[in-house]
Chains A and B, each alone.
Chain A
């Protein structure tokens, strides 16, 4: 009898293994987690590398005794090889092409966003949206071909001889078409985020659909549309191939859209396409331009994100 109970006791202790509730060290898991962390942090290094490399070469450019900030921002001729450092010759073309692009893409993008979000039936949307997505997926060099060989001849037959073969107008228009889908889809997101109750309240007051869309929904979505506009500007400023193909090659301080001129991006593409010796003033000047581009688009993107984040909180 006594023996039996003893046996039972040993059985009990055997079947229940002792648990150690301390956190177990699993080397495999830690290694994997570290690798994943490194993959995550890599993007930070990319940004640091961009800032460092662009900054380093740009410093070489600005440290050149011949280059002064006064010349850089104060003159309007750009030819680093012969001592002309006026960045405005390039910035002017960037401004003109981007302005035309926004002039085209903002109204068209916004109007199509309103149609898609407020008017289109489910079926119409499922046909129209993919078309805009195709437009967004076309490589920019193809848009360049389109600008040079389709839009420019058409403009030439309308405007006449004042229009140069390479001109900012046609590049800007095509850039507008390229940005249209982006503005449209971002604005549509903003419009769809406006709560239904606002629309229903407007209808209850006897407003027509257009009055609701333009006077109630649109103002409510304005911040999101602002974000779309800013992203659109950032895309236009950074766009390269359309202007490299169609806007002209050669810095030209001009605000006349019929003229040929070279944007900051177009200039980088043309100069770096040729054989360029490292450490020449031409080489370092490209990095100075690229740094300006990077900082400009960075600021625009940050503003846009800030607006989107603020806007998201409003209806949640």
Chain B
């Protein structure tokens, strides 16, 4: 006989059920809040960066501008500035500047920067973040008036067009990211020249040619593992191989360059190339895998050789995928910092990289340098540099997404 004793009675069951539903809602809320925390973190991060890149700055001149000119500072013309600089700088310093770039060719803004930097010696006392500046504007004004009676308070954007085209400077007010951006572009360019052909070749080999044997298995496992090796280990590899062992090549000594050691943009670019190689191989493999077998069979059917099938049919169809993967790998290379520190990025250079054998700095290196400085004006330009880096990354990734959507075919 079947008895119902083992099962809860209708009323108990309903009570338990409402409890279970309550638990369900709570858990669902918890799951969702985890995602919300991630979103809040991202928002906070972006807010924090933008917040740092703008804001009040209190600055003072070490020398009174009136000593040099009677015209108001904002109305100085190019010629007037040149005369002022010539009159007041020591002739040696003036010649040095003239040698770097002739005065007549410098723009008014550049000359004005020189005037502020060299003659009146602008001196930043304190900076405030954007939110703080907007919310406590009156308080800051009162504080500045009390603490630095002679100082001027100004709302400043640290991220200006000028910031993008000015080279490094030891003073945050006059520093820019030009050298760093150029260095990053060199690095990424060398990395992709090295890793795209080799990575695509390796992917073609593994997908199209490799027999199913132990060696192929090892190569595949090895590539997956390399993708997980910490980037700083690649930096150590680059230091040992590219900087030391291959010094004659990477310093350019073989090509007649005499004034450098192995810590060049070439060494760093090759290190980056090795670092992104596994990523490019894995992405290219996925792209090649997605090309349907029928295409290959059709090619073989009309008498194509293996390479003809790959070159004329598989590769053209896999190309958008390979390029998308490469762009993503590039954006990884653009943001990597640790290997560059190890390989030996210069902490201070103001000359643009001219050749693969130049010393270099890069955008993330500058961000690191400026973030670790104690003065708050350096934090402000670090924030500015981060905005530049993030915009570059966003552009790269958007290109990758567009490329994927535009050319990707579903089979």
Residues on A close to B: CB < 8 A? Answer: 26, 28-29, 32-33, 35-44, 46-47, 49-50, 53-54, 56-57, 107-112, 114-116, 119, 128, 131-132, 134-135, 137-146, 148-150, 177, 180-181, 184, 208-211, 213-214, 231, 234-235, 237-241, 244-245, 265, 268-269, 272-273, 278, 286-287, 290, 293-294, 297-298, 300-302, 305
Q: Does B49 contact A (CB under 8 A)?
A: yes
Given contacts A43-B226, A210-B27, A214-B27, contact A37 B205 (CB under 8 A): yes
A150 touches B44 (CB 8 A): yes
Q: Does B52 contact A (CB under 8 A)?
A: yes
Q: Does B148 contact A (CB under 8 A)?
A: no
Partner of B210, one of A40, A139, A146, A286: A40
Partner of B341, one of A110, A148, A269: A269
B367 touches A145 (CB 8 A): yes
Q: Return the CB mask of B330-344 against A: 1 if under 8 Å, else 0.
A: 010011111001101
Determine the chain A residues whose CB is within 8 A of the CB of B223 once the complex forms: 43
Q: Return 28 A-B CB contacts under 8 Å, by A number.
A: A29-B307, A32-B307, A40-B206, A43-B222, A44-B218, A44-B222, A46-B274, A46-B277, A56-B240, A115-B32, A119-B32, A135-B38, A138-B335, A140-B337, A144-B368, A144-B371, A145-B49, A211-B24, A213-B27, A234-B228, A237-B230, A240-B232, A241-B337, A241-B364, A244-B338, A272-B342, A273-B341, A287-B236
Q: Return the CB mask of B12-41 against A: 1 if under 8 Å, else 0.
A: 000000001101100110111111011101
Partner of B237, one of A40, A53, A119: A53
* Most chain A beta carbons < 10 A, residue from B226, B232, B364: B232
Give 5 closest A-B pairs by Cβ, nearest first: A238-B230, A139-B335, A39-B201, A111-B34, A115-B31
Determine the chain A residues whose CB is within 8 A of the CB of B41 once the complex forms: 135, 177
A37 touches B209 (CB 8 A): yes
How far, in whole Å, are A149 and B347 apart by their CA atoms in the complex?
Answer: 22
B219 touches A54 (CB 8 A): no
How far, in whole Å, are A70 and B194 apart by their CA atoms in the complex?
Answer: 43
How far, in whole Å, are A109 and B33 apart by their CA atoms in the complex?
Answer: 11
Partner of A269, one of B21, B281, B338: B338
Determine the chain A residues whose CB is within 8 A of the CB of B141 once the complex forms: none
Q: Does B134 contact A (CB under 8 A)?
A: no
B52 touches A108 (CB 8 A): no
Q: Who on chain B is nearest to A308 by CB?
A: B224
Q: Who on chain B is nearest to A298 by CB?
A: B225
Q: Give the distance to chain B from A310, nearest Cβ to Cβ, in Å.
A: 14
Q: Return the CB mask of B237-272 against A: 1 if under 8 Å, else 0.
A: 101110010000000000000000000000000000
Q: Who on chain A is nearest to B227 by CB?
A: A301
Given contacts A44-B219, A210-B28, A245-B371, contact A298 B393 (CB under 8 A): no
A297 touches B209 (CB 8 A): no
Q: Who on chain A is nearest to B36 by CB?
A: A112
Determine the chain A residues whose CB is within 8 A of the CB of B226 once the complex forms: 43, 46-47
Q: Who on chain A is nearest to B40 by CB?
A: A177
A41 touches B229 (CB 8 A): no
B221 touches A305 (CB 8 A): yes
Determine the chain B residues whose CB is within 8 A of the CB of A110 once the complex forms: 34
